[in-house]
Chain A
């Protein structure tokens, strides 16, 4: 928090071991704990959502069915009919990242997607998978992806390295997008909360600006919820777009 006129915004991301001595022995941090909780929550929602099996679904079953249908239509609309095979991957990615982003909004919880290690791992997995899918479906013709059809052959020494570079830059852009969104959101929350404390300690004239800062913090929490959904959706739809490129080679 605030100390000696500087606001310490980044120490909230420091990882400590959770679960006492059991966690300390294997370095099980609060990030890992939140990931386990996210997995359990998703599985529980799906299991208890589909247990009633009613023709006219109740609220929980409607939630499970709508989430299935939404992700399936995203896959099929973006990738085409072959998209059905990738549905489990996209569903897992979307809901894991969504719950990672959302759970961090809760006080004293930790956003596991706010670490570049986690988002980087997910991104490396997606990019390597997309490349392997492309090579598995098309063989060595996959590398014709880097030479777009209709481009003059004379330009290829310039065009192909640029295409390869932009393909590799997906590794950075996909991971840093999610990571920076989450870090920036939480840093802003911390900074405005520190303003509230610092202004409140400044005497009675500080109360009005402190109240305004608190109101801004409330609006920021709402914005964080929006960004959580948006970033999960963007990660999933970009994975679908990359898979479309790999499956259809353009």
Chain B
């Protein structure tokens, strides 16, 4: 293979490897909302207070997903 195709092939491989990290983020977000559902089920009156924390936790965990995605894009497109 000539060098350009080689580089493109490895870029694609690198991007694919980088997004494996999103599996951990999926587990994390699932954990947050599992805790939310179970805490609202125990104490329905706490719903608004706990919901704000859950959304904050979701956004912070999603941020890690996007760091991994950003690396994948950087590998793929630059």
Contact = CB atoms under 8 A, between A and B. Distances in A.
B70 A176 contact: yes
A234 B73 contact: no
Contacts of B55: 230, 233
B76 to A, nearest CB: 9
Interface stretch (A31-39, A82-90, A131-139, A181-189): A181-189
- Identify whether the interface residues of A are mostly helix, strand, loop, or mixed: helix
A234 B66 contact: no
Nearest to A10: B77
Contacts of A237: 56
A104 B15 CA distance: 26
Given A9-B77, A10-B77, A187-B73, A180 B56 contact: no
B35 interface: no
Given A9-B77, A10-B77, A231 B69 contact: no
Interface residues of A, number: 16
A144 interface: no
A92 interface: no
Interface string A167-200: 0000001001101110110010000000000000
Contact of A231 (B59, B67, B70, B73): B59
B71 to A, nearest CB: 10
Can you list the 4 inter-chain pairs with the closest CB atoms, starting with the nearest?
A: A180-B66, A177-B63, A234-B59, A180-B70
Interface residues of B, number: 13
B60 interface: yes
A184 B66 contact: yes
B62 A181 contact: yes
Contacts of A230: 55, 58-59
Given A9-B77, A10-B77, A183 B70 contact: yes
Interface of A: 9-10, 173, 176-177, 179-181, 183-184, 187, 230-231, 233-234, 237
Given A9-B77, A10-B77, A233 B69 contact: no
Interface string B23-67: 000000000000000000000000000000001101110110011
Contacts of A10: 73, 77
Interface string B6-33: 0000000000000000000000000000
A94 to B, nearest CB: 14
26 contacts: A9-B77, A10-B73, A173-B63, A176-B63, A176-B66, A176-B70, A177-B59, A177-B63, A177-B66, A179-B70, A180-B66, A180-B67, A180-B70, A181-B66, A183-B70, A183-B73, A184-B69, A184-B70, A184-B73, A187-B73, A230-B59, A233-B55, A234-B56, A234-B59, A234-B60, A234-B63
Nearest to B58: A230
